[in-house]
Amino acid sequence: MRKFLLLLTLPLLLASCCDSSDKGKTKEVANITDATVQSTIKSISEKHAGISSDMLERGVKHAASLWRNVDGTEADFKVFCKDHFIADEATKEIMFEKVSRNLEVLYGHFNKISLDLQRPLHEPMGEIIDVDKAFGGYSAQSHLTEDLYRNKLAFNIALNFPYYTLTEKEANASSWTRKEWAYARMGDVFTSRVPAEILQNVSEVGSASEMYIANYNIHMGQLVDADGKTHFPKDMVLLSHWNLRDEIKSHYSKGAEGVKLQGMVYEVMKRIIDQTIPADVINNGAYQWNPSTNETFKDSKAVTLESEQNGRYQQIINNFHAMRQIDAYSPLNTAVKRAFAGGMEITQADAEALFVEFMAAEELKQVGELIKKRLGRDLQPWDIWYDGFKARSSIDEDALNKITRTRYPDAKALDADLANLLLKLGFTQEKADFLAERIDVDAARGSGHAWGAAMKGETAHLRTRIPETGMDYKGYNIAIHEFGHNVEQTISLYDVDYYMLNGVPNTAFTEALAFIFQKRDLELLDMKNDNPEKEALQTLDNFWSTYEIMGVSLLDQRMWLWLYDNPDATADQLKVAVEKIAVDIWNEFYAPVFGIKDQPILAIYSHMINSPIYLSNYAFGHLIQFQVEQYLKTADFAPEVERLFKIGSITPNAWMQAGLGENISITSIIEEAGKAAEQLAN
């Protein structure tokens, strides 16, 4: 995830004041009038005959929207624009190349600083102390934008590479050359002036939330039932929510006993959601805990422990207040608008409408009945994670663990095998070596993540949890997902024609490739799948996963909209609201399929705490994955993956048109799921 760029590419700032509460500082206000803008345009037009009036007007207006009294007078602004507007195309191209090179230097090194400072938080490097947290929350780049305004570089760039709105980008998508796209992306860099202290605070609060989740482990060997019996391995420690969810998935091959274990995990999840979980059973194996009754024991004697008391929801509140401080500096004046129209380049209203339409599809009931038949029982709430369409669902996870632990006893073993994995996926030896050399594998404290490089010469990082006993299947499965991210990050950095186009339109596209890699995890373990129903099963697996994540994403969206309607809410009030929203979504879109009402399970996702307004990227990722997979059925996998992810960070639908010749859609996945369900039912 290119966190540094998300902070810099905030939406266009209208001419509004930027107040500072610091005593002694000059109050910053916008001071360029429309009259000055027009006279500046006229003056430059007279100086450079025959120049594009559209680019001139756009550039001057854009620079004026960012200029403040601390930058100079109106006369200073006019002189600056006359001196720095570039009319000659060749000179402009030279400037573009130099700015691109220097931004790569800055972004790349700041990214490396963040990566290295946060290593003690993300990797098992001993006990975390307060100094680690302070350095991990420090943002070295938080003053970069402010500094570049102060030395006028930002105005020079904004004047010559102006900002285009999402609507304008979409309108120009079919006619723009690659260079024009790259120029437009440079115009996205300086579009607002958020004070450095606000950016620093966002970084610190976000880092604290990441640490909160990274340490939210449940000692499963200490869970007991009504008879005081344990059912999970003594040394099993699972992170919420990823590992808990994957533990549920691992028990679909175990019949009635598996259902019992899934039910215990679900009780843990509900306690986390409603915050009745005892605080001292989090990341602590000193107590036995019955999640059904919420009783706790020490050496088999009952003890009373205090609940967590809404710490989960306080993290969300903290992120909300930190991100809300940016609102005054952006015309996309909520974090929701910035995440969707700004970051994803899809509006929240459009995303919600698409999700609601999908979750109302009658085919979901058809697939639900099929799952019920395959399970031989009524559906339970945790069956939103039904894993029986995957080839691995019929394989005992202990057998998979044995394979992965033997093959990957540590991070070094996986790192050494990356090129081999790419060869199995069809990449040439040369390309496999190229990619593998630019990806490093690290053991993770949390469930794992992928951290891309931001400049050529640096490596991307694949992180996954690896116990001392070796990588278990859950860690391996996550590692292959993150490997997909790393491959995208590396291709879209090294192979894209312009640095300003590096990456993908939004993180849904990198999630798509991660899902594509992840579904091939058994293939990469040399386990063949000759099932004639393989394609139908894969379609249904994607369809059901999309159904699950869309509900969670809708909850995330509606929670943030609720926060903006209730900006002074307490953590307790937020908890009540989240539970209600989760139950309402369940009752509308899941109860008709599951036959059970009033379930809060959608509120378990950890992304709601440590990755604000991110979940919708997964939902779009599943849709894009399906469309890419359909395309890859008639194409060579590796060469097409390379081609697709060389397209870079143009807008989502422009990428889809360039890559697949179609827009993002729910139509094909719904239709194909209906056909697949009918095939398997017969």
**HSE-CB for 458 with a 13 A CA cutoff:** 21
Cβ of 642: how many Cβ atoms within 10 Å? Answer: 17
The pLDDT value recorded for residue 15 is 31
CA dist., res. 183 & res. 158, Å (int):
11
Q: What's the pTM?
A: 0.80
Per DSSP, the three-state class of 409 is coil
CB-count burial class (<10 Å; 0-12, 13-18, 19+) for 253? middle
Instruction: Measure the CA–CA gap between 333 and 320, rounded to whole angstroms.
Output: 13
pLDDT in tens, 164-211: 988 899 999 999 999 999 999 999 999 888 887 898 899 999 999 999
Check: CB of residue 267 under 8 Å from CB of residue 203. no
Per-residue model confidence as pLDDT tens digits over 545-595: 999 999 999 999 999 999 999 999 999 999 999 999 999 999 999 999 999
Between 13 and 346, the more confident residue is 346
DSSP state of 14: P
Tokens of 230: 């344990």
Give the integer Cα–Cα distance in Å for 588 and 214.
Answer: 32
Any bridge partners for residue 449, and if so which? Answer: 463
pLDDT (average), residues 114-134: 90
Task: Assess whether pLDDT exceeds 70 at residue 10.
Answer: no
The single-letter code of the amino acid at 58 is: R
- Per the prediction, the chain carries an average pLDDT of 92
- Round to whole Å and give the CA distance between 304 and 27: 54
Q: Compute the distance between CA of residue 450 and CA of residue 460 in angstroms, rounded to an integer.
A: 7
Which of 63, 100, 248 is closest to 185 using CA atoms? 100
Which has more confidence, 43 or 395? 43
Q: Cα angle at 105 between 89 and 617, to 5 degrees?
A: 90
d(CA 583, CA 560): 16
**Rounded-to-integer distance, Cα 582 and Cα 580, Å:** 5
Kindly state the tokens that stand for 515.
Answer: 């899902």
pLDDT band at 636 (very low <50, low <70, confident <90, very high): very high
Could you report the per-residue pLDDT of 508-519, keeping only the tens digit for each?
A: 899 889 989 998
pLDDT band at 393 (very low <50, low <70, confident <90, very high): low
Q: What is the pLDDT of residue 7?
A: 35
Q: Rounded to 5 degrees, what angle do the CA atoms 525, 528, 532 make?
A: 145
* Alpha-carbon gap, residue 379 to 372, rounded angstroms: 6
Mean pLDDT computed over 217-225: 97
H-helix segments, 590-634:
591-594, 607-610, 616-632
Task: Compute the C-alpha angle 289/290/294, nearest 5°.
Answer: 95
Domain ranges of the chain: 3-192, 213-312, 331-388+531-681, 401-524
Structure tokens at 475: 């860690």
Res. 394 pLDDT band, cuts 50 70 90: low
Q: How far apart are CA 264 and CA 28, in angstroms?
A: 57
- Average pLDDT on 260-264 reads 97
Higher pLDDT, 20 or 469: 469
The DSSP bridge partners found for residue 68 are 30
SS3 state of residue 272? helix
CB distance 237 to 223 below 8 Å:
no
Please give the C-alpha separations between residue 392 and each of 376, 529, 673, 680, in angstroms, as whole numbers: 19, 10, 20, 18
